[in-house]
Structure 1
């Protein structure tokens, strides 16, 4: 960002961003989850530009961000009562609802599907931007990174990723959640988890007073953001190992003289015997909220260093860690190592 832009007041920045969006440009903006790369949903050309900048397949849907709960039925139709209940309880917040799209949502936003992902972000700058866009406006936005790579949780991450390819970056500081939204769809009024995220499934179930089904247990071809097997990945190889095996893998790499980042949550004492000039220990918080907040920033930092690979201690199997387990599984998908 230019020095002049950094000196502008927030209102001036919002006004400048709206002007760019209405002119068919793209703007990166902060949310509580990760930074998004937004285009005016009514501008088909601007939306296509988002796919080009990211290198995103055109059949991979975007999420529509808007400002007010009562506008849900402007963007969606045939909304079940359970969707309204979740929207009223968790918005603004890290929850995306997949619903039948209205005629106001163009097909290039949905990847050609008749459903659309909708959410209201919980960030003051994002909400100010969405409200300033005007009536019956919204932003179609994926995360502001190259397709399949690590999501950005700061304005600097976006700049490192795209530079001048993005017309403007609104800096809202580090994202407070740091992981993408939970995605829920509906089938016969039953809620289905398509992607774990910033809201634990247990909280959604408490609100609905019913169990949420897993996509894997249903015969559905519905495509949702972040649903590919390989996603959120660093350039550096990333391997996830159970606590009882990760030391053995670190020692194997050390014997070959390979520089390794060991990312652990269970404490430094356990790993003290394997840290050396080749194996560098990076401790993460032992709670899922703190771990999720730091995960992407840590992976990005280590990805810029000269490591042969990242060894990640597998997170606990507790449901509170589900979103983190999901991201690490997808980030490590292309790495297949056997001891």
Structure 2
């Protein structure tokens, strides 16, 4: 990355503006955590409700002292293994951290991205950056600089070029709690780092832990039932043998029953009769399928079909696929 580009981004961030930042997961819309104007600019630019918390990105572990109220041993172990990388840990927040970042919660999500441009930018700024995905609220996440520029044409957001995102979906979000020497963990959002990866590593280090299922996922970004939605309806069909003609009738009738909004996210519906259906095909390799999913959604939507149809294949099963289908289920207007 040219130093002039980084310097321009640093200058804009210092003015309380937002900048498009590449990461290995998806592109983020970054602002300094110490400038309220910048944090507000994230929510305003994304048209994001204030109840959806932001993830803080650091370049060095030493930066955590201004973000979290502590860093328990289990978190240190996970950072040693998975940072820099696509694992966000939700920890008790530092009392001085702006509550807009955490949506008023007592916890904060933090990670160290594994992208050289993101790390160069955070180091050059000298403070951590809050950075949700660089898209309008509820819409498809961006995996290239071009996606961000297209999303924020009117806002004219400056974007650092970092190539295509290598992972293609947002980070795993893990709630980490330590109480009386007991470590409890909860996956709030599935991602590239799997629960089995975490279990295997901590067990290999002799660290005792327990996974807890019943938690409030509002501590994680992207917790709503609908998210990542393209501008035309995405339909997920759970029966790969169902004919297109049968589906057309079913989709048309089911769509009319949908509400206009769910949890502040507008549900995308067809504008009339369904005739033109674009079929989405995923790679048989879950890593390749995940990497290309958002870009495929954007490309197919740009063709302006009446809807996009994805058949869930029998082979799309197992823990690695679950992270991708978490996004598919939320991006879909309808599941049949």
Q: Shorter-chain TM-score: which interval?
A: 0.7 to 0.9
2:170 pairs with 1:180: yes
Equivalent of 2:216 in 217, 220, 224: 220
- The corresponding residue for 1:163 is 153
5+ long unaligned stretches in structure 2 = 251-272
Residue deviations 1:4-25 (CA, integer Å, cap 9, x gap): xxxxx61111011101111111
| 2: CA distance, partners of 1:52 / 1:61 | 14
How does the TM-score come out when normalised to structure 2?
0.85
| 1: CA distance, partners of 2:209 / 2:188 | 14
2:246 pairs with 1:248: no
CA contact (8 A) 2:217 2:223 kept: no
Compared with structure 1, are the counterparts of its residues 239 and 167 closer, same or farther at alpha carbon in structure 2 (3 Å cutoff)? closer
Q: What is the Cα-based RMSD across aligned positions, in Å?
A: 2.1
Residue deviations 1:132-180 (CA, integer Å, cap 9, x gap): 012xx11111100000000000010001100151441101110011110
2:189 pairs with 1:195: yes
| 2: CA distance, partners of 1:38 / 1:177 | 19
Compared with structure 1, are the counterparts of its residues 26 and 18 closer, same or farther at alpha carbon in structure 2 (3 Å cutoff)? same
Compared with structure 1, are the counterparts of its residues 212 and 28 closer, same or farther at alpha carbon in structure 2 (3 Å cutoff)? farther
| 1: CA distance, partners of 2:245 / 2:58 | 46
| 2: CA distance, partners of 1:211 / 1:103 | 27
2:79 pairs with 1:87: yes
Residue deviations 1:91-112 (CA, integer Å, cap 9, x gap): 1100100001113421011111
Equivalent of 1:258 in 258, 272, 275: 275
Residue deviations 1:209-260 (CA, integer Å, cap 9, x gap): 267636xx31436431111100011121111112434x32455429987111
Aligned with 1:165: secondary structure? coil
- Deviation larger for 166-175 or 10-19: 166-175
| 2: CA distance, partners of 1:182 / 1:286 | 22
Compared with structure 1, are the counterparts of its residues 222 and 236 closer, same or farther at alpha carbon in structure 2 (3 Å cutoff)? closer
Aligned with 1:87: secondary structure? helix
CA contact (8 A) 2:237 2:335 kept: no
Q: What is the correspondence of 1:100-179 to structure 2 with a 5 Å cutoff?
A: 100-134=92-126, 137-179=127-169
| 2: CA distance, partners of 1:26 / 1:257 | 39
2:225 pairs with 1:229: yes
- Deviation larger for 202-211 or 251-260: 251-260
Compared with structure 1, are the counterparts of its residues 211 and 100 closer, same or farther at alpha carbon in structure 2 (3 Å cutoff)? closer
Equivalent of 2:291 in 280, 290, 293: 293
5+ long unaligned stretches in structure 1 = 1-8, 264-282
Residue deviations 1:114-146 (CA, integer Å, cap 9, x gap): 111101111010000000012xx1111110000
- The corresponding residue for 2:254 is none
Aligned with 2:334: secondary structure? coil
| 1: CA distance, partners of 2:236 / 2:75 | 35
Compared with structure 1, are the counterparts of its residues 124 and 249 closer, same or farther at alpha carbon in structure 2 (3 Å cutoff)? same
| 2: CA distance, partners of 1:195 / 1:91 | 17
Deviation at 1:336, TM superposition (A): 5.5
Residue deviations 1:180-231 (CA, integer Å, cap 9, x gap): 00000024421100000121221111112267636xx314364311111000
Residue deviations 1:296-319 (CA, integer Å, cap 9, x gap): 000001111121111112252211
How does the TM-score come out when normalised to structure 1?
0.84
CA contact (8 A) 1:193 1:212 kept: no
- The corresponding residue for 1:277 is none
| 1: CA distance, partners of 2:217 / 2:284 | 36
| 2: CA distance, partners of 1:211 / 1:226 | 25
| 2: CA distance, partners of 1:54 / 1:257 | 30
